[in-house]
Structure formats: C-alpha cells, structure tokens
Chain A
Amino acid sequence: MEHMGIERDRLQFSWVSSAESTKFVEVVKTVTEAVKSLGPNTAFKKHLPKVA
C-alpha cells in the first residue's frame, strides 16, 4: 500500500490482546492522531459522477 502512494502512517498494524485494554486505548489514540495530522484521504476514493 505504501509503495503505491498511501501515506506511511495511514495504515497501521497492531497486536492487542483482549486483556490489554490500556494498550488498545493507546493504539486508538496514536492512530487517530497520526491519521488526523495527515488530513483527509484522497487516494482510493471513487467519485460518483465518474462512475455513473
């Protein structure tokens, strides 16, 4: 995905056990921050008028 031009931080992988609630919250926070700082996604969006 990154090679194709999706920004690095937009796609993230994480391993969180069901017992690790604190880690889950942390991950959600960091991912949200990272993605927000990148701004709205422009890639991989279908524009309806073009499809119709």
Chain B
Amino acid sequence: MQTYIDKIKEIAARILKDCKVDMVIGFRNGTVPMMCEPHFAKSADEVDRLVWDSNCGINLANYLTDRKEKIGIVAKGCDSRNIVTHIIENKIKREQLYIIGVPCKGMIDKHRIKAMFDGEILKVSEDENNIIVTGADFEKVLNKRDVLQKNCAVCIHRNPVVYDELAAELVEEQSGIDRYADVEKIEALPSKERWAYFDELLSECIRCYACRNACPLCYCPTCFVDESRPQWVGKSQDPTDVRTFHFLRAYHCAGRCTDCGACERACPVGINMRVFTKKLEKDCKTLFDWEAGLSLDDRPPLDTYRPTDPDDFIK
C-alpha cells in the first residue's frame, strides 16, 4: 500500500509543479476509520495528505461534473469507467484530465465489518491480504477476501480502462466468477415473492438520498425527486414512494452504471440498492452486449439504434 501512496504523491506533486493540472483529486483519511474522503490538492504542500488503502470506495468521477479547470484524478477501475461515461456524456473533456490509474484489489465493506463487532472500532489497518480491526478491548485480523464489498467481490474490471500514468503494476483480473448470482436468485422467485423481497429490502430506507449524491451518474441539476413542479414522485415515507424513487433512479442509470458500489457504501442504513442497478446491468449485457465505460468510441445502447435491437416485448 505504501508504494501505491508514495507513487500517487510523487505523480501528483510532479503534475502540479509542472502546471499540467490545477488540482489533483484523490483520497485522504477521514475522521473515523474506514471512511476515506475525497481530497482536493491544489498545491504541492497539500499533496502530502493523499492516501490509498482499502477504504477508498467513493467514486471520484462524481467530482468531475462540469468542471472547467484541468484536473488530475486518482482512478481505480470503476472510477475510470465512470470517467469514460462522463466524457461520453459531455460532462468533462478528456483533454482536461490527467488520470492517475490505480489498479485496485477491492474495497472493504464497512457495513459488514461494523456489524461484526459490538464496541466502537477505533483503528483499521491492513497489509497485503489482511485487515486488522482494533477497538478499545479487541483486536482481530480478518482476511480481506472475506470482507470485500459485494460489488468488488464480483468485479472483473479492477484495472483502469483509461489512464495517463499508472501508480502500480496492473493487477490480475478475476475470472470464473458468477457476476449475477444475486440477480438470478431474485429472478427465480414468483412475482409476489419478488414484490415482498423488495418491500423488505427498502423498508429501512429513510430517503436521505445519500445513494444518489454518492453516485457519479446522478448529476442532474435538479433531481426528479426534488422537483415539485411537476412533482414526479411523492415525498413521503410511503412504501410506494420509496420504491418509486429507487426504481426510477436505477432506470436513470441503465446502461451507465459501472457497479462501483458507491450507492451501497453511502447508505446509512445499509440497503443493498445495487440489486436494482445490477439487474439493468445484466440486461444491458445480455440484450446489447454492453458494459458501461469500457471505450471512449462506442455510444451507449440507449442512444443508438441498431436494427438487431431486441423488440420481442412489443406485441
């Protein structure tokens, strides 16, 4: 990890000094364990706070929307795919960016780790394969593989797809994993049970919109849930309104979602809303053979027409 951090700092300091960029966006340690926050380094002396570990789950592409200056950005696999999506959607220009690619070995699931311990976790450190969790009266070593975020466990794009410079050697991509096991499990249920499954899933939702705010795709100036003229969706805690919000938000991410897991990570009550976006991601893969953010040259399926597009559902 330290070699990653040193390299990131070295690149950041160099491109700032050479005036290649006006700002470098990376991660710094948060005020509590397992909560790295974004860091905006605008001068060489701010570079020192940059870090890299298994808690950098926030998607930094979120901070690029409509920026005018030149930006250096630390990008793991999913961030880089979201940067591609941003470029395709004209939210930033490729020329404005200096992408520091960071091959990623997965982020750890803070919800799951917190649930494992009764007391407050005071410190979380790590080495190559282990996570060491320390509290006031406990210390435990966990295997990193067992506490990965759910999306990281099934990730097949750990290496950045676009970058100007790498902070480390490319890592081996995972293969032979069933990416859609969770979606298939839901698909197998009869419709009544599916309805009940989502009712249960969303029952905790407090509609804080943290998932939306953490999502790099959700950059609309006014989100449909905040709009009151016309009011597209009710603002109450009624299960129908809650479900409409999650369902529509997922739809807005169709063909764009890279399964970076930022939404799930941001959720204060630990809802796995990825099961919505994951279904759409799976459909895009099977119907259009499309995975978001892999190429700057291909247009996404929802803004192109091909005569071979499936249309069996139109009777």
Contact = CB atoms under 8 A, between A and B. Distances in A.
Nearest to B192: A5
A5 B240 contact: no
Contacts of B194: 3-5
B305 interface: no
Interface string A1-18: 011111110001111000
B191 A14 contact: no
Contact of B195 (A4, A8, A50): A4
Interface residues of B, number: 22
A27 B191 contact: no
Interface residues of A, number: 20
Given A46-B238, A50-B238, A7 B191 contact: yes
A25 interface: no
Interface in B190-227: 191-198
Interface string B240-260: 110110010000000000000
12 contacts: A3-B194, A4-B195, A4-B198, A5-B192, A6-B195, A8-B191, A12-B315, A27-B315, A44-B243, A45-B240, A46-B234, A46-B238
Interface of B: 186-187, 191-198, 234, 236, 238, 240-241, 243-244, 247, 279, 313-315
